[in-house]
Structure 1
Amino acid sequence: MLRFTFDSHFQRRLIDSLYAEAMILAEASRGYFDGIGREERDALGPVQRVSFSCESVKVTTRLMHVLTWLLTQRAVDAGELHWTEARLPARRLARSPESDMRQVGQLPSRALRLTQASIDLHGRVERLDVMADSALRTMSPVRLLQARLSRAF
């Protein structure tokens, strides 16, 4: 999908690197929110406990959106999915759930760091998704037609 912007070797390395980062962040988040984070949450006031729980869901949601997008890119790279199919709305990167940074700032430091890391990762992947659109717009009409025809047959 990004093949019009990057050479395929660079694209593969970039996607693999982001995938590894997302998996590490997902594991760290799971470990925290299911482990010591529960103890830290229980020590918070009622409003902060709700905020903590909401942020844990938002972090997980962001990471699942990122991982889904990256797996789609891997499928394109492996030839399992045509790049034009990867641009369909259902396969695009889903929006990141919004976080109120004032509330997030009142959470334990590790919850804050995980939330910020998930927002940052989603933002970087979102920029790649937008870049792919830019590459698609710069394609000639003939290439777009060829892509549609190759997908049809």
Structure 2
Amino acid sequence: MTKQLSNIHPAIIESLYQQALALAEEVRSAFGGDDISPPPAPPSIAGNSTEDIPALARFIVARQATHSTAVLMHILAWTLNQRAFLEGTLNKAELRRHCRLPQPVLSADDLEERALLPDSLRDLVERIHAFHARILRLDRQAKRPAPVPERVQHEPPVSVGALQAIS
């Protein structure tokens, strides 16, 4: 039985894990086949020979597939570490040390390459990055200390003697 030791409810972690697995399967299906039509040649290589265009198109698809897979593996590792923490396998210090989601690094080339992908692949890559951004926000929110209610912040401390006098 899992106990809630985190600011993130176990059902949310499990849902995120299942979503990440589903996206990983989509990536495997979408990028894994030979039936992927390569993206059109970018305008910047219009002067190159036509023999270079298919190789560049394959490179763009492979690079986006690799990048998307890496992002998903980080997400899966994060969800698995969260599950281990909730089950008591990892303590807070271990969770802080091992459960870090890297910030997305997008260059202008990445955005240009995405624009050249076939619509279905571009949609998948964008959904993966939106999912990653959502988990980053959730992770940041979970790491914030819980706010102390206003009335508790300003109440004077109660002494042990006062508590004993009440009982």
Percent of residue pairs identical: 30
Matches of 1:126 and 1:42, distance apart in 2: 30
The two structures have a TM-score, normalised by structure 1, of 0.74
Which of the pair is proportionally richer in helix?
1
Which structure would you say has the larger Rg? 2
Q: Give structure 1 stretches of 5+ with no counterpart.
A: 140-153
Alignment of 1:79-118 (within 5 A): 79-88=88-97, 90-98=98-106, 100-118=110-128
RMSD: 2.5
* Residue in structure 1 matched with residue 14 of structure 2 by the alignment: 16
Q: Name the counterpart of 1:69.
A: 78
TM-score by length of 2: 0.68
Structure 2 unaligned regions, length at least 5: 42-52, 149-167
1:30–1:4 distance in 2 versus 1, CA, 3 Å: closer
Report the count of equivalent residues: 131
The equivalent residue for 1:41 is: 38
Specify the SS of the correspondent of 1:40. coil
- Give distance in 1, aligned partners of 2:135 and 2:14: 12
Cα distance in 2, alignment partners of residues 135 and 26 from structure 1: 32
Give the Cα separation in 2 of the matches to 1:122 and 1:66: 7
Alignment partners' CA distance in 1, 2:79 and 2:6: 17
Structure 2 residue aligned with 1:149? none
In the alignment, the residues of structure 2 paired with residue 26 and residue 41 of structure 1 have an alpha-carbon distance, to the nearest angstrom, of 21
How many angstroms apart in 1 are the aligned matches of 2:30 and 2:68? 11
2:106 maps to amino acid: E
